């Protein structure tokens, strides 16, 4: 058996197909890894409440949520990196002047600062999570928020990047960007977990396909980009596997010698 390793999997486009289905081969691979004694964790831009069913199905209780801002190991929160609330309030006020709504997100729920907006509906429905944010423009008050969603068309986030230095803006949909604490990333969240476990860099693996996986794929020693990733994301990884629709998880794990 190989020395104990930890493997981090992105969700959308990595574990789940673009139709948000979990391939049976990927599910079986996760259980094989655990049977071999390895740690398996999720690393995603999603909120914890957006993939509870997936965690239950895969029996995974360690995860890096919100692109690294909320980290849980074996059901215990080990790291939190909330947004600057005063800066977020200013961002929301400015964005509304441009008809760009905001969704506030903590570890339990998400609330929009507008009653409804076509951009929110269109982008959130692509996640197929069965829920949409309800209206609460003051949800940011008195609580830790780990990520927000800013809804605007591609390129329009540039005006906010120039003004709001407390945040990073990472696009995940043509109509929406993640708003993260400056310097926050999956790579930083993963580091908090691997430091706790004391697992050597050579025994750390990560699979991803999206823009928000770039830091993770660059930082993790054994990084694997999915075949469905764009070329610049593939270039950031050590390995490139097949597409998520072509049993890419199994192929990648075999490629790196874990299966």
- In sequence order, the 6+-apart residues with CB closer than 8 A to the CB of 71 are 63, 64, 65, 77, 78, 79, 80, 189, 192, 193
Distances, alpha carbon 15 to alpha carbons 20, 25, 28, in Å: 9, 10, 12
CATH assignment of 85-181? 3.30.1240.10
Predicted local distance difference test score (pLDDT) of residue 166: 97
Catalytic residues: 10
Give the 3-state secondary structure of residue 40.
strand
| CA count, 13 A, side-chain hemisphere, 51 | 29
Kindly report, residue by residue over 126-148, the tens digit of the pLDDT: 999 989 999 999 999 999 999 99
The tens place of each residue's pLDDT in the chain, 259 residues long, gives 468 999 999 999 999 999 999 999 999 999 999 999 999 999 999 999 999 999 999 999 999 999 999 999 999 999 999 999 999 999 999 999 999 999 999 999 999 999 999 999 999 999 999 899 999 999 999 999 999 999 999 999 999 999 999 999 999 999 999 999 999 999 999 999 999 999 999 999 999 999 999 999 999 999 999 999 999 999 999 999 999 999 999 999 999 999 9
CA 142 from chain center: how many Å? 24
Domain segments of the chain: what residues?
6-80+184-255, 85-181
Strand partners, 9: 42, 207
Predicted local distance difference test score (pLDDT) of residue 1: 46
Kindly report, residue by residue over 177-211, the tens digit of the pLDDT: 999 999 999 999 999 999 999 999 999 999 999 99
Residue 131, judged by CB atoms within 10 A of its CB (0-12, 13-18, 19+), counts as exposed
Predicted local distance difference test score (pLDDT) of residue 208: 98
The CATH number of domain 6-80+184-255, selected from 3.40.50.360, 2.70.98.40, 3.40.50.1000, 2.40.128.120: 3.40.50.1000
Predicted local distance difference test score (pLDDT) of residue 44: 96
Q: Confirm if 112 and 103 have CB atoms less than 8 A apart.
A: yes
In degrees, rounded to 5, the angle at the alpha carbon of residue 17 between the alpha carbons of residues 214 and 81 is 40
Place of tokens 């990073």: 168
CATH topology identical between 6-80+184-255 and 85-181? no
């Amino acid at each position: 058996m190989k020395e104990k390793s930890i493997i981090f999997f992105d969700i959308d486009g990595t574990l789940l197909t673009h139709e948000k289905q979990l391939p049976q081969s990927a599910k079986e691979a996760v259980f094989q890894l655990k049977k071999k004694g390895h740690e398996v964790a999720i690393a995603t831009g999603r909120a914890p409440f957006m993939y509870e069913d997936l965690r239950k199905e895969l029996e995974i209780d360690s995860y890096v949520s919100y692109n690294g801002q909320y980290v849980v190991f074996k059901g215990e929160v080990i790291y939190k990196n909330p947004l600057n609330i005063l800066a977020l309030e200013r961002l929301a006020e400015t964005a509304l002047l441009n008809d760009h709504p905001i969704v506030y997100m903590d570890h339990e729920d998400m609330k929009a600062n507008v009653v409804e907006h076509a951009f929110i509906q269109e982008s959130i429905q692509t996640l197929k999570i069965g829920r949409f944010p309800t209206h609460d423009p003051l949800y940011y008050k008195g609580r830790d928020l780990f990520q927000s969603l800013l809804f605007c068309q591609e390129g329009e986030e540039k005006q906010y990047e120039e003004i709001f230095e407390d945040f990073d803006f990472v696009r995940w949909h043509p109509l929406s960007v993640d708003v993260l604490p400056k310097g926050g990333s999956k790579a930083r969240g993963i580091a908090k977990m691997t430091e706790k476990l004391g697992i050597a860099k050579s025994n750390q693996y990560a699979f991803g396909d999206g823009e928000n996986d770039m830091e993770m794929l660059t930082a993790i020693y054994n990084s694997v980009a999915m075949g469905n990733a764009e070329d610049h994301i593939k270039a950031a990884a050590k390995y490139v596997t097949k597409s998520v629709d072509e049993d890419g998880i199994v192929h990648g794990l075999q490629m790196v010698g874990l299966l």
